[in-house]
Amino acid sequence: MKPAWAMLIVATCALACVQRTPAPASPPSPAGSRYYVVGKNGTQTLGKDPRKLLPGFGVVVAEQRMLGGERVGRTSLGRDIAMKDLHPATPSRFGGAHLDERGLDFGWVVREGAPIYAQPDSTTKPIARRPRYARLTLASRDGPQGFYRVADGWMSEVDLRVPRLSARPPAAGDTEPWIDVDLATQTLVAYLGDKPVFATLVAAGVGAEGSPLSTPKGIHRIRAKLLAATMDNLDHTGVAPYSYEEVPFTQYIGRVALHGAFWHDQFGAPRSHGCINLTLADAEWLFGFTQPTLAEGETEVAATEKRLGTVVRVR
């Protein structure tokens, strides 16, 4: 029988991240070598009770074998799938920044070949271009509306995501870890008290504020942490379906969670059904940064009144 906190999470997840299975016995592979996504033609599981899997669904292949002349993968949930219908996932290689005394003096490029201009005027010819996820130091945050000054010139704010310093909420102590998620910039900053120590890009909910697919704003606390949790919305109708096995480094803050996403590389823009998507490396770091912590050998832990979860502010 699931613990009460797990049942509560399932009941409140609505159209967002629904926990379907407990965490596996071991952490997910950081290299993502076990992660696969269903191909464009879809597929179905093999056996007596076939289950339809739509394009883009994510699975974790625990082992492979030959069956009737065909290579078959067995997923972490014990389902058999023809490997010809799966493609290896390619988790993002992007990683956040551990901060020094310079703090938040930079931004990340979020468009491949983003232009840099000699003047803050996008009608002029670019003098340089920068690759997606490049980290650029800001010469100044002050400039004409719509532009940032970088070392080589000017860049449109549309192409750059700049994390912003934020005041500590009263719920977080003077030296406590806490997390600030800025939906406007799709960035996350981790703090120890008033000091920012880590910043990264996220992919939050695609829905308008207050809708089922939005990331809820407000002051939250981490309620439960799981090394991995299988999530889907297949009980719902009228929404784009999804299903992902062993979503890594999951931290629930209510009906949504912070977690790693191995199935896309679109950080810095809304992408999820409400959860706060992170790269695998960033999700793992934040999992170790927050409270409560997992004891050795544990795969999941819940916050209690005596052991509060870390504050997460979404704004």
CB atoms near residue 280 (< 10 Å): 24
The residue written with tokens 């070392």 in the block is 151
Grade residue 202 by pLDDT with cuts at 50, 70 and 90.
Answer: very high
Domain ranges within the chain, ordered by starting residue: 4-26+165-314, 35-88, 105-161
Beta strands 177-182 and 195-201 are unpaired
| Model pLDDT for residues 139-162, shown as the tens digit of each residue | 988 889 999 999 999 999 999 999
99-102: which pairs have CB atoms within 8 A and are 24 or more residues apart? 99/196, 99/197, 99/198, 99/199
**Tally: H helices and E strands in the chain:** 2, 26
The residue among 310, 232, 227 whose CA lies nearest residue 275 is 232
Q: Say whether pLDDT at 232 is over 50.
A: yes
Grade residue 21 by pLDDT with cuts at 50, 70 and 90.
Answer: very low
- Select from 2.40.50.100, 2.30.30.40, 3.40.1410.10, 2.30.40.10 the CATH code of 105-161: 2.30.30.40
What are the tokens at 147? 């532009």
| Model pLDDT for residues 238-279, shown as the tens digit of each residue | 777 889 999 999 999 999 999 999 999 999 999 999 999 999
Q: Say whether pLDDT at 237 is over 80.
A: no
Residue 282's pLDDT is 98
Grade residue 30 by pLDDT with cuts at 50, 70 and 90.
Answer: very low
Predicted TM-score (pTM) of this structure: 0.89
Q: Say whether pLDDT at 214 is over 90.
A: yes
Average pLDDT rounded to a whole number, residues 73-90: 94
Residue 142's pLDDT is 84
Specify the fold of 4-26+165-314: L,D-transpeptidase catalytic domain-like (2.40.440)
